[in-house]
Chains A and B, each alone.
Chain A
Amino acid sequence: MAYDSFSVLKSSAVPLPIENVDTDQIIPARFLKATERKGFGDNLFRDWRYDKNDQPKADFVLNNPTYQGKILVGGKNFGSGSSREHAAWAIYDYGFRCVVSSFFADIFRGNAINVGILPVQVSPEFLHLIFEAIENDPKAEFEVNLEEQRISIVSTGASESFDINGYKKHNLLNGFDDIDYLQAMKDEIVSFASNR
Chain B
Amino acid sequence: MSKTPSTLFDKVWDSHVVRKIEDGPDVFFIDRHFIHEVTSPVAFLGLETRGIGVLFPEKTFATADHNTPTINQHLPVEDPLSANQLLQLEKNTSKYGISHWGLGNPKNGIVHVVGPENGITLPGMTIVCGDSHTSTHGAFGAIAFGIGTSEVEMVLSSQCIMQPKPKKMIINVNGTLGKGVTPKDVALYIISKLSTSGATGYFVEYAGDVFRNMSMEGRMTVCNLSIEMGARGGMIAPDQTTFDYIDGRELAPKGADWDKQLAYWKTLKTDDGAVFDLVINFNASDIEPMITYGTNPGMGMGISKHIPKATDVEGGVATYEKSLDYMGFAEDDAMIGKKVDYVFIGSCTNGRIEDFRAFASIIKGRKKAEHVTAWVVPGSHIVEKQIKDEGIFEILTDAGFELRQPGCSACLAMNDDKIPAGKYAVSTSNRNFEGRQGPGSRTLLASPLVAAAAAVTGVVTDPREFL
B319 touching A181 by the CB < 8 A rule? no
Q: How far is the CA of A18 from the CA of B317 in the complex (A)?
A: 10
A85 touching B149 by the CB < 8 A rule? yes
Write out, one digit per residue, whether chain A residues 57-75 have a CB within 8 A of any chain B CB (1) or not (0): 0000000000000000001
Residue among A19, A25, A86, A179 making CB contact with B316, cutoff 8 Å: A19
Task: Say whether, besides A85-B150, A179-B46, A185-B27, A33 and B196 are in contact (CB < 8 Å).
Answer: no
Task: Say whether, besides A22-B296, A107-B148, A177-B150, A33 and B18 are in contact (CB < 8 Å).
Answer: no
What residue of chain A has the Cβ atom nearest to residue B230's Cβ? A105
Write out, one digit per residue, whether chain B residues 44-55 have a CB within 8 A of any chain A CB (1) or not (0): 011000101001
B:6-22 near A, CB below 8 Å: 18-19, 21-22
Task: Say whether, besides A84-B39, A107-B132, A107-B148, A47 and B435 are in contact (CB < 8 Å).
Answer: yes
| Surface stretch bound by B, among A6-14, A142-150, A154-162, A186-194 | A186-194
B84 touching A35 by the CB < 8 A rule? yes
Query: Could you show 10 A-B contacts with beta carbons less than 8 Å apart?
Result: A18-B322, A25-B435, A29-B413, A52-B421, A85-B39, A85-B148, A106-B232, A178-B150, A179-B153, A189-B160
Write out, one digit per residue, whether chain A residues 93-127 have a CB within 8 A of any chain B CB (1) or not (0): 00000000001111100110011000000000000
Q: How far is the CA of A107 from the CA of B39 in the complex (A)?
A: 14
A179 touching B157 by the CB < 8 A rule? yes
Q: Which 5 A-B pairs have the closest CB atoms?
A: A167-B24, A166-B23, A83-B146, A85-B148, A33-B81
What residue of chain B has the Cβ atom nearest to residue A103's Cβ? B197
Task: Let me know if B310 is at the binding interface, CB within 8 A.
Answer: no
Chain A positions within 8 Å of B425 at CB level:
none
A37 to chain B, nearest CB (A): 5
Write out, one digit per residue, whether chain A residues 131-152 have a CB within 8 A of any chain B CB (1) or not (0): 0000000000000000000000
Chain B positions within 8 Å of A168 at CB level:
24-25
Write out, one digit per residue, whether chain A residues 165-186 have a CB within 8 A of any chain B CB (1) or not (0): 1111000000001110111011
A193 touching B42 by the CB < 8 A rule? no
B197 touching A20 by the CB < 8 A rule? yes
Task: Say whether, besides A25-B433, A111-B150, A106 and B201 are in contact (CB < 8 Å).
Answer: yes
Task: Let me know if B154 is at the binding interface, CB within 8 A.
Answer: yes
Chain A positions within 8 Å of B42 at CB level:
34-37, 85
A176 to chain B, nearest CB (A): 12
Residue among A110, A177, A182 making CB contact with B158, cutoff 8 Å: A182
Q: How far is the CA of A18 from the CA of B321 in the complex (A)?
A: 11
Task: Say whether, besides A19-B315, A33-B85, A193 and B56 are in contact (CB < 8 Å).
Answer: yes
Task: Let me know if A56 is at the binding interface, CB within 8 A.
Answer: no
A22 to chain B, nearest CB (A): 5
Task: Say whether, besides A28-B439, A192-B18, A114 and B151 are in contact (CB < 8 Å).
Answer: yes
Chain B positions within 8 Å of A107 at CB level:
132, 145-148, 227, 232
Residue among B55, B154, B196, B440 making CB contact with A20, cutoff 8 Å: B196
Residue among A35, A105, A167 making CB contact with B25, cutoff 8 Å: A167
Write out, one digit per residue, whether chain B residues 67-85 have a CB within 8 A of any chain A CB (1) or not (0): 1000000000001011011
A36 touching B45 by the CB < 8 A rule? yes
Chain A positions within 8 Å of B435 at CB level:
24-25, 28, 47
Chain A positions within 8 Å of B230 at CB level:
77, 80, 105-106
Chain B positions within 8 Å of A106 at CB level:
166, 200-201, 230, 232
What residue of chain A has the Cβ atom nearest to residue B294's Cβ? A20
Q: How far is the CA of A84 from the CA of B149 in the complex (A)?
A: 7
**Residue among A18, A115, A192 facing the most chain B CB atoms (10 A cut-off):** A192
Q: How far is the CA of A80 from the CA of B46 in the complex (A)?
A: 26
* Contact size range, B: 35 or more
New A-B pairs, 7, CB < 8 Å, besides A35-B85, A36-B42, A188-B19: A18-B322, A25-B434, A33-B38, A33-B79, A52-B421, A75-B316, A80-B197
What residue of chain B has the Cβ atom nearest to residue A88's Cβ? B148
Task: Let me know if B183 is at the binding interface, CB within 8 A.
Answer: no
A167 touching B197 by the CB < 8 A rule? no
Residues of B in contact with A (beta carbons under 8 Å apart)? 18-19, 21-25, 27, 29, 38-39, 41-42, 45-46, 50, 52, 55-56, 66-67, 79, 81-82, 84-85, 88, 130-132, 134, 145-151, 153-154, 157-162, 164, 166, 196-197, 200-201, 227, 230, 232, 296, 315-316, 318-319, 322, 412-414, 421, 431, 433-436, 439-440
B201 touching A80 by the CB < 8 A rule? no
Q: How far is the CA of A18 from the CA of B434 in the complex (A)?
A: 13
Q: How far is the CA of A34 from the CA of B296 in the complex (A)?
A: 27
A29 touching B197 by the CB < 8 A rule? no
Residue among A25, A30, A84, A165 making CB contact with B24, cutoff 8 Å: A165
B154 touching A178 by the CB < 8 A rule? yes
Q: How far is the CA of A181 from the CA of B21 in the complex (A)?
A: 11
Chain A positions within 8 Å of B19 at CB level:
185, 188
Chain B positions within 8 Å of A35 at CB level:
41-42, 45, 84-85, 88
A19 touching B319 by the CB < 8 A rule? yes
Residue among B158, B322, B439 making CB contact with A183, cutoff 8 Å: B158
Chain B positions within 8 Å of A83 at CB level:
39, 130-132, 134, 146-148
Chain B positions within 8 Å of A115 at CB level:
150
A80 touching B319 by the CB < 8 A rule? no
A58 to chain B, nearest CB (A): 17
Chain A positions within 8 Å of B159 at CB level:
189, 193
Task: Say whether, besides A34-B81, A110-B148, A24 and B38 are in contact (CB < 8 Å).
Answer: no
A111 to chain B, nearest CB (A): 4
B414 touching A52 by the CB < 8 A rule? no
Residue among B22, B24, B55, B149 making CB contact with A189, cutoff 8 Å: B55
Residue among A33, A103, A181 making CB contact with B414, cutoff 8 Å: A33
Q: How far is the CA of A107 from the CA of B148 in the complex (A)?
A: 7
Chain A positions within 8 Å of B431 at CB level:
22, 24, 81-82
